[in-house]
Amino acid sequence: MIHPTAVVDSAAILGKGVIVGPLAVIDAGVTLGDGCEVHSFARVGGPPGHVKDKGEGCTLEVGPRCVIREHVTLHRGSKVGTGKTVIGSDVYFMTGSHVGHDCRVGNGVIMTNGAVLGGHSEVEDFAIFGGLSASHQFCRVGTMAMIGGAAILVQDVPPFCMAAGNRARLVGLNEIGLERRGVPEASIKALRKAYRLIFRTSGTRATLLERAKNEFAGIKEVEHFIDFIAKSKRGVARHGRD
């Protein structure tokens, strides 16, 4: 179902049951999965926000059942990056949210009104971004993390954590989100201990990660938490409010 005022490039690929609203624009190089909804004035697959690279030949892939609300902008990849922006399934983009070039967004992510991902950002499954929050280029956000409204990320936010503030800091675990996603209570308790050990205990980060790895071996949520932190290239947001 494509509104007669929408502009859909003939080279775009639309899955079954896709709905495109009035005055939405879908560019070449875009693939929309089955059941996606694109609302009024959205721009899906626009060129990357790069001074020299216009993303010729680059792509945007959007998984099934994503909702793209009014004035959302989703950019294609760039030639200086991976060449493609990839978005998973069941993602909800609220009004005015934005995904920059070469981003990778997992399944079930929620981008609240005005939330922005800079180019090359990586977001794991079921993360939630509050209104007007923003991620610097190349930042990573872990699964089930929750980013507070108007927060500015300049470093990675580990899985299962909450972050808030300008130059956002960690403010604890997203325990309500963990419960809602059905994470076992034993795993939540282990994550609490691992969080305190890594972020609220004196010692070098490498030493604390090794201690956590040994203490919580076999608990998959904690293992992912530790692995995410260990692989950070931008560094991980610190605990505590400014």
Q: From the candidates 29, 100, 119, 130, which is the catalytic residue?
A: 119
Whether residue 125 contacts residue 109, with contact meaning beta carbons closer than 8 Å, is answered with: yes
Catalytic, out of 39, 96, 100, 102: 102
The answer to whether residues 68 and 37 touch, using CB atoms and an 8 Å cutoff, is yes
CA angle, 108 then 111 then 115, to 5°: 160
**Contact (Cβ atoms closer than 8 angstroms) between residue 97 and residue 113:** yes
Lay out the sheet containing 30-32: strands in order across. 13-14, 30-32, 59-62, 84-87, 104-105, 122-123, 140-141
Count the Cβ atoms, other than its own, within 10 Å of residue 197. Answer: 17
Q: d(Cα 131, Cα 114) in Å, to the nearest integer?
A: 6
* 63 has catalytic annotation: no
102 is catalytic: yes
119 a catalytic residue: yes
Question: Among residues 39, 75, 98, 101, which one is catalytic?
Answer: 101
The residues carrying an active-site annotation are 101-102, 119
